Structure 1
Amino acid sequence: MEFASQICPSGPAVPWPLRLEQRLSSPEPIQIRGWCPSTWRPMQAQDGWIVRVRPRCASLSAAQWLVLAELARTHASGQIELTRLGNLQLRGVRESALPALRAALVVSRLAPADEQADLAPAVHCTPFYAKGDRTHALALALSVAVARDLSPLTLQQQDMSALPGKFDMLVDDPQCHLQSLSSDLQLWPCADGRYGLALGQSADWYGFESAPAAVQAAVRIALWFARERSAQAAGRLRALAKPIDLQACGLARASHHLEPRTQDKTTAKPLRPGALNPHGLLLGAPLGRLDAWAIQKLAAPMPEQAEIRVTPWRSLLLPNKHLDSLPARLDSWDWIRQSTDVRLRVSACTGAPNCPQAHIPAQSMALRFASSKAADRHLHISGCAKLCALPADATNVVFASQDAAGQIWLHASPAEAQPSARASIPYRPLDSDPHDIQQQLNDLQL
């Protein structure tokens, strides 16, 4: 990894990567798990266990949302977290409650009954599709193939190690709304009837005449990666320092395209809550957290099978045909309904006290900074140097570190991580005084 270092007059020198996607470095040791929690493989945190639910095709029924909200209240923290790729998380789960929680998720079809299917790579999906259309059919076919052919047990039977926990695939729509998201493999139906496949966020892509051919190629690429990564311990496809074998991966006969997959650059931008779009109404979740009671109030008036979809922008999509069931009043504390809501200008990791590596209460800091940020800027607050939950549209980042003397420091920079624009200051807890908040922003050169 390439770093630049700068001595900050108000703090210690901290290495700063020249490429943001390689993440920040810190003078203190940082534990990177290298995998993501799931229903069958939860992750232990400071506040209990984290259980992740992967919505199938980005969709839950109103009845499933009610079940999940009740489980959040009875077994977890009372909140449901929306991740950057459209997953759902319950935090603070007691260890003794894990078996009952898992059983309830399986019965409600919120998690697979087969542990191996749950441990197979995640397949994320755009929320913008109609049931039975080409996007939906592609997502279903890929999900089935991945669970069948790429589970840890299936790979073990072929003398291969399991794929890394962060290895994933994504199914996009023909407009490529999700093309800016980071994923190992991206597939989508093209407007001309073909199907596209791209390795990560590569500008070039491969075209296939049918969905089965594209799905088969995606599986073959994953199998090739599983074989080749063992010698390099690569966690993601992009980290493998070896050209892809076109013949082995089924790409030799595919058409290779060097032009962008779509000419409409606006579709790659995160969609904001508020205005109706052809697919429905977007409701934002402040900092990606939803109160269980708020979900119950939203879903209870709807028909049991009414869909509420999850977006990768920490929001929910309510299809147009079910908007009549929307409660007349939604608490503005729980929901973001306007694109001008200042809470859209900030994001944060879990932060202290719930994360053992966090040095600061990132979420409360983010909310206090929100109203002081310009409408065209986005500030991400991280409790440590890992920059967990960093969104692609962040323009500035702030993270915390602790030196050998126990002093906590805040470090800030533009998201493109230019070392010359860097600032570090000793951390001090924020109060609600607007002048104090603005002073700290000024000190951080934000």
Structure 2
Amino acid sequence: MTPVPPTRRGACPAFLSPMETGDGLILRLVPADGTLATAQVRGLAAAAIAFGSGLMEVTARGSLQVRGLRRETVAPLQEATWALGITPRLGLAIDVSPLSGLDPREIADGRPLADAIRAGAAALADRLGPKVSVVIDGGGAIRLDGRKADVRLVAMRPGSDVLWSVAIGGGAAVLLPEAEAAARTVAALAGLAALGRAARATDLPGGAASPRLAATARSPIGLLPLADGSLACGIGLPFGAADAATFTALADAVDAAGARDLRPAPERGLIATGLDAAGARAFAEAAERLGCLVRADDPRAFIAACPGAPACASAHFPSRQLAPAVAQALGPLLDGSVTVHLSACSKGCAHPAPATLAFVGMDARVALVHEGAASQAAGPLRPADTLAADLAALAEGAIRVRRPGETGREALRRMAVADLWASKGHLKAMIET
């Protein structure tokens, strides 16, 4: 397959408007209440097999995706979703933590604010662009600072009262009580609607600067105490994807562990809630047997990989297929300070934020961006089929020269990794000399 040059898409896949790519259509599903019962997970898995390729994903924003649909199978999958009792989020994307209202560490439950904004903006929905989004971060264990947003609201407690920091686009934030924060957000959305469906918050007065995202988002992997005394257990999908059989097996594990539900989570995670200590341990063990990530220090947790070729029509190399070998090669360096992005084209869908190392597909080969985003890729280019070997040599060299107390990221910076990448010949030979 010849890669299609990357183009700026007007929208991501959605429930009512799936997006076409190399392996068919992708349908994105965000449960309106953020939760899935185990019967619903099993039903979705069965529908993914019946109407798609059987491959399911959880995105960096915590959305579910079903891949490999055909035009004639989209409606049956949508109908199956409704029949399972799942209400999909439609219209304006308003993101809150999947543990909102359950997290004892959060400063505020973001759901009432989300409801107020949704109600206030209901009449604007048809005039807002499909990528316009609002992020509400209540300040708990699951932070949303790695997500792009036209309006970002973050809970603060500067005194005895909770206030919301409201930032429009990349503009300066202001602290407001909840009702005023909702009104300011709705006013910004009205301004966007007046500018047309192509407008984003950076087009508004005071929103001209582009916001800088956190380079390392917080993983949901691990045990999280809940306000009712129970536990949540977060796991990760390897590079955000699993087949339908794995989702079915995870639903069985949730039931066996005594959890109440399974929740899609940011950074390609799933969270089982309402567990006791024994149940949390049993669920984590079952998830590990299924190949899921159950430790926050798993090298795979630090690698974002898009589907790549042949699943994506714009891809220049099989990024997700190479991801396990890349994780193994770079494992000694992945100490929490290094983030890696395998992006099969320059759109950078899997990780919009800057990464320590971004490997980007161009002209059927791979470019390196050191400490930057995939969109900055320009070359020089190296073959994709030597990527794992090149990175194993890179990690070996960095470990050899790393000073006591130095992080993997610091060692890479001192090695001038971009200059090594630009050198001719095998990286191992260049590093050894």
**TM bucket normalised to smaller:** 0.7 to 0.9
Q: Which has the higher contact order (CA 8 A, sep 6+)?
A: 1
1:237 and 2:198 matched = no
CA distance in 2, matches of 1:440, 1:209: 50
> How many aligned positions are there?
373
1:149 and 2:105 matched = no
Aligned to 2:113: 138
1:166 and 2:136 matched = no
**SS of corresponding position for 1:415:** strand
Aligned to 2:147: 181
- How far did 1:145 drift? 4.1
**SS of corresponding position for 1:276:** strand
**SS of corresponding position for 1:177:** coil
Aligned to 2:261: 307
Once the two structures are superposed, the pairs formed by residues 308-387 of structure 1 within 5 Å of their partners are: 308-321=262-275, 324=279, 326-327=282-283, 328-332=285-289, 334-373=291-330, 374-375=333-334, 376-387=337-348
Aligned to 2:366: 410
Q: 1:101 to 1:322 in 2, by over 3 A?
A: farther
Aligned to 1:271: 218
Aligned to 1:444: 421
Q: 1:322 to 1:164 in 2, by over 3 A?
A: farther
- How far did 1:99 drift? 1.2
The letter for the 2-side match of 1:315 is G
The letter for the 2-side match of 1:364 is Q
Once the two structures are superposed, the pairs formed by residues 195-210 of structure 1 within 5 Å of their partners are: 195-200=163-168, 202=170, 204-210=172-178
Aligned to 1:397: 358
For residues 182-210 of structure 1, the C-alpha deviation after alignment (integer angstroms, 9 at most, x for no partner) is 21112344434334142256474233334
1:193 and 2:161 matched = yes
Structure 2 unaligned regions, length at least 5 = 208-213, 227-231, 396-416, 428-433
CA distance in 1, matches of 2:114, 2:341: 31
Aligned to 2:7: 31
**SS of corresponding position for 2:17:** coil
Aligned to 1:405: none
CA distance in 1, matches of 2:375, 2:218: 30
Aligned to 1:218: 185
**SS of corresponding position for 2:189:** helix
The letter for the 2-side match of 1:187 is L
- How far did 1:59 drift? 2.6
When the two chains are superposed, the root-mean-square deviation of aligned CA atoms in Å is 3.6
Aligned to 1:260: none
**SS of corresponding position for 2:366:** strand
- How far did 1:306 drift? 1.9
Once the two structures are superposed, the pairs formed by residues 243-254 of structure 1 within 5 Å of their partners are: 243=206
Worse overlay, 271-280 or 288-297: 271-280
CA distance in 2, matches of 1:140, 1:365: 42
Structure 1 unaligned regions, length at least 5 = 1-27, 153-161, 245-266, 403-407
**SS of corresponding position for 1:126:** coil
CA distance in 2, matches of 1:190, 1:416: 30
Q: 1:308 to 1:333 in 2, by over 3 A?
A: closer
CA distance in 1, matches of 2:59, 2:143: 17
The letter for the 2-side match of 1:291 is D
Aligned to 1:25: none
Higher helix share: 2
- How far did 1:268 drift? 9.5
Q: Is the 8 A contact 2:305 2:319 kept in 1?
A: yes
**SS of corresponding position for 2:110:** helix
- How far did 1:93 drift? 0.8
CA distance in 1, matches of 2:118, 2:296: 33
Q: 1:293 to 1:208 in 2, by over 3 A?
A: same
For residues 277-332 of structure 1, the C-alpha deviation after alignment (integer angstroms, 9 at most, x for no partner) is 22422101111113322222222354699222222111112224366275453344
CA distance in 2, matches of 1:243, 1:302: 47
- How far did 1:76 drift? 1.7
Q: Is the 8 A contact 2:56 2:241 kept in 1?
A: yes
Q: 1:188 to 1:307 in 2, by over 3 A?
A: farther
Identity %: 25
Q: TM-score, normalised by structure 2?
A: 0.75
Aligned to 1:128: 99
